[in-house]
Structure 1
Amino acid sequence: MTVRVTPKGGRDAVDGWMLDEAGRPVLKVRVSVAASEGAANAAVVVLIAKALGLPKSAVRISAGETSRVKRLAIDGATEAEASLAFGTPPAPSG
């Protein structure tokens, strides 16, 4: 799953799906902490795990540690469970 993170976003929340510049679906996520020393990454992991009802050890950042756009690897959740938690992503364009 690909997410776009807004650090210092006021609260921890999932704001829904959007299409990136290349037309790929990206889940918009905001966290209240700043992006320093991995705090925002940790908050994203906790938020996604909680939304899916999984332990935080089941969610890890597989790419984009220092970027706003991150790729998450999630163990123990199906696509259907992710759709229930976050809604259905828009169809890729192009």
Structure 2
Amino acid sequence: MNSCLITIKAVPNAARSEIIGWMGDVLKVRLKAPPVDGKANAELCRFLAATLGLPKSAVTLATGGSSREKRVRIEDLTLDEVHRQITRP
């Protein structure tokens, strides 16, 4: 079973949730949810799972629960597969 860790720069309170793109090894993601009571963290995991076509349980927050820079574990995909799926047209 494959898995990977990716670093995310999260920007909460956006107009909509969207992936901005890769900034080196960091993925910048805007989140509609506010950074209150873990809502932005939950939205990040849900949004990434939906974007990557994975079940919600396959994307979990590893570190950075109260920070804008987070590490997210993604099950069932390698880092290269995540890069390909996120940068596809």
| TM bucket, shorter chain | 0.7 to 0.9
Runs of 4+ in 1 over 3 A off after TM superposition: none
Deviation of 1:33 after TM superposition, in Å, equals 1.2
**Identity score, percent:** 39
The answer to whether structure 1 residue 13 and structure 2 residue 18 are counterparts is yes
CA distance in 1, matches of 2:64, 2:79: 21
CA distance in 1, matches of 2:75, 2:15: 28
Greater Cα offset, 29-38 or 79-88: 79-88
TM-score, normalisation: structure 2 = 0.86
Aligned-residue Cα RMSD (Å) equals: 1.4
Aligned to 1:4: 9
Aligned to 1:37: 37
* Contact 1:52–1:77 (CA under 8 A) maintained in structure 2: no
CA distance in 2, matches of 1:59, 1:49: 6
Mark the runs of 5 or more structure 2 residues left unpaired by the alignment.
1-5
Mark the runs of 5 or more structure 1 residues left unpaired by the alignment.
20-24, 89-94
TM-score, normalisation: structure 1 = 0.82
Q: Deviations over 1:14-62 (max 9, x none)?
A: 100114xxxxx21000111100000000000011111111001011010
CA distance in 1, matches of 2:79, 2:66: 26
CA distance in 2, matches of 1:14, 1:85: 12
Aligned to 1:87: 87
Structure with greater Cα Rg: 1
The answer to whether structure 1 residue 75 and structure 2 residue 75 are counterparts is yes
